Amino acid sequence: MPNLLSSWKKHSAALLAGALLLTGPLTASTAAAAAVYQEEATKAIELKLGDASISPDKLIPAAELKKLFDQSAKLAGGDATFTAAVKGATITRKDAAVMIAKGLHLSPAAEPYKDVPDKASYASSVGAVMEAKLMLGVNQSQFAPNQSLTYAGAYALAYRIYNYSMPFLLPEATIASIQQAVGQGKLTYKELVQQYLDRIEKYDDQGIKLNAILTINPKALEIAEELDKERAASGIRGPLHGIPVIVKDNYDTNDMPTTAGCLCLKDSIPSEDAEQVAKLKAAGAIILAKANLHEFAFGITTSSSLGGQTLNPYALDHYPGGSSGGTGAAIAANFGVIGMGTDTGGSIRIPSTYNSLVGIRPTIGLSSRDGIIPLALSQDVGGPMTRTVTDAAIVLDATVGYDPDDVATAASISHIPSSYTSYLDAKGLKGARIGVATELFGTTEAEQPTTEVVQAAVKDLAKLGAVTVDITIPNLKEIMAYPSLSGYEFKFQLNEYLAELGSKAPYHSLTEIIASGQFDKSMEASLKTRDARQSLNTEDYKDIVLFRTKTTKDALLKVMADNRLDAIVYPSTTQTAALIGEAQNAGGNNRLSPFSGFPAITVPAGYTAEGLGASIEFLGRDYSEPTLIKLAYSYEQGTKHRVAPVLAP
């Protein structure tokens, strides 16, 4: 069967590319759309809905199509039955559209195709299947209603019907699967929120007690109900309409406390949302909860005086990474759809690695930091932590852009595409030149498990069509010797943040917070050291800001130019999650992105023999998020390493 299926794939690929029988995105290229169609037809055969021995270009009879569609719905647990619209040896695309629309009881809808007369009896069926994304046109203006349907096309449609008929399952739900379920009437946003609240109660408050969540939005159900009404009345605002989000508790929210995990801020409710939170709300997202973090984002183990120690859902006796470890553990355990973290050194990418998530640290200046409790604004960014690259790209679309309250974002103008999702290309690695930073692969016994996983990932890049080139980053030792600027900037920027809270501020300075004693006592020495700093107007600080950034940027740009690279890859962390109580060492690879300001994306690369996550990180030039998303998506789709934690089924 493998050889037969392989032969069928090759035959159907050529056929579909020529016929342009697309069910993929309307904006897809011919090759990309044909690939989508072929992949779905192949999946139907793997589900035993099709037969690889049948020539893919053979025309399917109406009776066979009915039988195939009935089997698809039944296999998914549905009860839909289909009636052949015509009798005879062949069936056309318009006939298939009518069969699907009637069998699945789709609501009639308008269609945009020039070759479908508006008064045609089948026009509303074409519109219905288009709206349900079960059948689309051969291009943006043509549906090809009279084109005969082949077995290849029928199998692809069968797989779509199978997917459409599946009951909604909360674990590992994506933005797309949720919107499809709501559109089909299988789910409401209010029901979705309740299901997530139930999971939080079951696995965070009880049972395995992950301890990932600090605050639940008391109005989440009410907001969801309003968004249900809005969708019914006027449609959805966009893909994030009704989608529950968990944000790290250093993002300001005007309806919940923003604490940075510190007892000193437990009752602090800012008057305005952080800019990225405001944008998410405007897009229709629901801020479901605030997540625990390493207090003030100081460390990578996620422990705080307010929230205690968050656990790793893959291994409860291990750290979840940090400082965005609460967000990471929550999204990995399916407490929400998407998460928002912050990253000064590695605080999005480390917990994304340990929780088998996709994490994007964007270019400094792509997204606003306004309303995020700062650690070091010369390095701080906020970005998505999700279970898929697709969902991360959707979140990026909603959160990037110029904000007059964060002047760094002025540089993003003209660097933002119409949508990052247009770069989701499963073949994106084909022909790409990827630099492998071999010096960043650990060699010690503790580092070896991660190194082996990421070395295998590099081989997968090559299998997926990339050209991998071993590289040496100039001046790497000098770059890695520079410190983070959080030790310099934190006091001054925190004091500014507290001042902006105005009369609502529980304290007005780091000095007052230390005097209160309302913080994690293990941080006292670190807080006092930062508080003792008198000014940023010092030569050593200015030298670091100037020379560290220039040295890192120049080194990365040179090695990429010399080797004609699209991106550089390396292990996100050099070691896996440590046992709670032991020292956590993630290595220094995560410094390249914040020291240069360049973007990086981490993607699950697999698991060690202990079942602990390891990730590969893609780093590019500034504002190269579209390229990184394309490469990361191609790797993700070609490997699909993420597995949900069994401890939170």
Q: Confidence class of residue 648 from pLDDT cuts 50, 70 and 90?
A: confident
H-run or E-run covering 616: strand 613-619
Per-residue pLDDT for 135 more than 60? yes
The answer to whether residue 134 is domain-embedded is yes
Q: Tell me, what amino acid is at 328? A: G
Q: Do 380 and 444 sit in the same domain of this protein?
A: yes
CA distances from 482 to 406, 506, 526 (A): 26, 35, 18
Name the token pair of 610.
């202990």
492 in any annotated domain: no
* Cβ atoms of 364 and 395 closer than 8 Å: no
Q: How many domains does the chain have?
A: 2
The helix/strand/coil state of 70 is helix
Q: Is there a contact between 9 and 42 (Cβ–Cβ < 8 Å)?
A: yes
Q: How far apart are CA 196 and CA 189, in angstroms?
A: 11
Task: Say if 34 falls within a structural domain.
Answer: no
For the chain, give the percent of residues with pLDDT over 90: 90
- Tokens standing for residue 473: 């980053």
Indicate the angle between helix axes 389-399 and 625-639, nearest 10 degrees: 160
Does 254 lie in the same domain as 147? no
Catalytic pick among 248, 279, 290, 630: 248
| Residue 160 to residue 157: CA distance in whole angstroms | 5
pLDDT at 88: 64
Is 155 in the same domain as 200?
no
Give backbone dihedrals phi and psi of 617, rounded to 5 degrees, phi first: -110, 135
Is position 347 annotated as part of the catalytic site? yes
Same domain, 150 and 289: no
pLDDT of residue 649: 81
- pLDDT reported for residue 35: 59
Q: Which two tokens stand for residue 112?
A: 């945009």
Q: What is the mean pLDDT of residues 356-384?
A: 98
233-291: pLDDT as tens digits:
999 999 999 999 999 999 999 999 999 999 999 999 999 999 999 999 999 999 999 99
d(CA 529, CA 540): 16
Q: How many angstroms separate the CA atoms of 489 and 506, rounded?
A: 21
Q: Does 500 fall in a domain?
A: no
Which 3 state secondary structure label does DSSP give 636?
Answer: helix
The whole-number pLDDT of residue 23 equals 41
Neighbours of 503 (CB within 10 A): 5
- 9: confidence class by pLDDT, cuts 50, 70, 90: low
Q: b/e per residue, 210-245, with b = 16+ CB within 10 A?
A: bbbbbbbbeebbebbeebbebbeeeebbbbbbbbbb
- The mean of the pLDDT values for the chain is 94
Instruction: Supply the range of the domain harboring residue 287.
Output: 184-485+519-638
Q: 345 and 463 share a domain?
A: yes
Reported as half-sphere exposure (CB side, CA atoms, 13 A), residue 556 has a value of 26
Which one from 268, 304, 347, 352 is the annotated catalytic residue? Answer: 347
Does residue 473 share a domain with residue 579?
yes
With 0-12 / 13-18 / 19 or more C-beta atoms within 10 angstroms meaning exposed / middle / buried, residue 414 is: exposed
Q: Is the pLDDT of residue 638 over 90?
A: yes
Beta carbons of 594 and 345 less than 8 angstroms apart: yes
| DSSP structure class, residue 381 | E
Among 165, 197, 214, the domain boundary falls at 165
Contact 574, 606 (CB under 8 A): no
Report the percent of the chain where pLDDT is more than 70: 94
pLDDT of residue 38: 80
Over residues 110-126, the mean pLDDT reads 95
- Residue 251 sits in the same domain as residue 130: no
Copy the structure tokens of residue 585.
Answer: 């060492």
Task: Give the model confidence (pLDDT) of 72-90 as tens digits.
Answer: 999 999 889 999 867 667 8
Check pLDDT > 90 for residue 29: no
Range of lowest pLDDT (88-92, 398-402, 629-633): 88-92
Instruction: Please state whether 457 falls in left (phi above 0), alpha (psi between -120 and 50) or beta.
Output: alpha
Residues 149 and 77 placed together within one structural domain of the fold: yes
In a domain, 29, yes or no: no
Q: What is the pLDDT of residues 299-332, one digit of tens each?
A: 999 999 999 999 999 999 999 999 999 999 999 9
Say if 98 falls within a structural domain.
yes
How far apart CA 406 and CA 553 sit, in angstroms, is 22
Same domain membership, residue 414 and residue 308: yes
Closest CA to 196 of 224, 167, 176: 224
Residue 125 designated active-site: no
Q: What angle do CA 28, 32, 33 make, to 5 degrees?
A: 65
Q: Which of 133, 165, 197 is the last residue of a domain?
A: 165
pLDDT reading at 28 higher than 90: no
* Mean pLDDT lowest among 11-25, 464-478, 616-630: 11-25
Within-domain flag for 32: no
Q: Is the predicted pLDDT of residue 14 greater than 60, yes or no? A: no
Using the predicted structure, report yes or no on whether residue 11 has a pLDDT greater than 60: no
pLDDT band at 375 (very low <50, low <70, confident <90, very high): very high
pLDDT (average), residues 438-462 = 98
| Active-site annotation holder among 124, 165, 304, 323 | 323
Taking the C-alpha atoms of residue 223 and residue 594, their distance in angstroms, rounded to an integer, is 36
Q: Do 191 and 136 have their domain in common?
A: no
* Residue that the structure tokens 């510190």 belong to: 262
Q: Is 304 helix (H, G, I), strand (E, B) or coil?
A: strand
Nearest to residue 472, comparing CAs of 546, 558, 532, 386?
558
3-state helix, strand, coil in the chain (%, to 5): 45, 10, 45
Cβ neighbors of 101 (< 8 A, separation 6 or more) are: 108, 124, 125, 128, 129
Q: Could you give the CA distance from residue 453 to residue 458 in angstroms, rounded to a whole number?
A: 9
Same domain, 402 and 325: yes
Cα 586 from Cα 430, distance rounded (Å): 31
- What is the pLDDT confidence band of residue 39, given thresholds at 50, 70 and 90? confident
* CATH number where 259 lies: 3.90.1300.10
Write out the E strands in 30-92. Answer: none
Instruction: Give catalytic status of residue 304 as yes or no.
Output: no
Q: Bin 82: left if φ > 0, else alpha if -120 < ψ < 50, else beta.
A: beta
- The rounded distance, in Å, linking the Cα atoms of 79 and 104 is 9
Does residue 615 register a pLDDT over 70?
A: yes
Positions of E strands within 366-514: 381-386, 433-437, 467-471
Phi-psi category of 296—alpha, beta or left, where left has phi over 0 and alpha has psi -120 to 50?
Answer: left
The last residue of a domain, from among 165, 194, 223: 165
| DSSP E strands, 153-255 | 213-216, 244-248
Q: Is residue 574 part of a domain?
A: yes
pLDDT higher than threshold 50 for residue 27: no
Q: Are residues 112 and 251 in the same domain?
A: no
Q: Nearest Cα to 594, choosing from 393, 327, 292, 348?
A: 348
Q: How far apart are CA 201 and CA 349, in angstroms?
A: 27
Q: Are 348 and 359 in contact (CB under 8 A)?
A: yes
Query: How many helices (H) and strands (E) would you count in the chain?
Result: 22, 13
CA–CA distance, 647 with 86 (Å, rounded to integer): 51
Nearest partner of 590 among 303, 296, 354, judged by Cα: 354
> Residue 251: helix, strand or coil by DSSP?
strand
- Length of the chain counted residue by residue: 649
Of 151-155, 304-308, 625-629, least confident by mean pLDDT is 151-155
Between strands 567-571 and 613-619, the pairing is antiparallel
Compute the average pLDDT of residues 600-619: 98
pLDDT band at 34 (very low <50, low <70, confident <90, very high): low
CA 527 to chain centre: 33
Radius of gyration of the chain (CA): 26
Secondary structure (3-state) at 642: coil
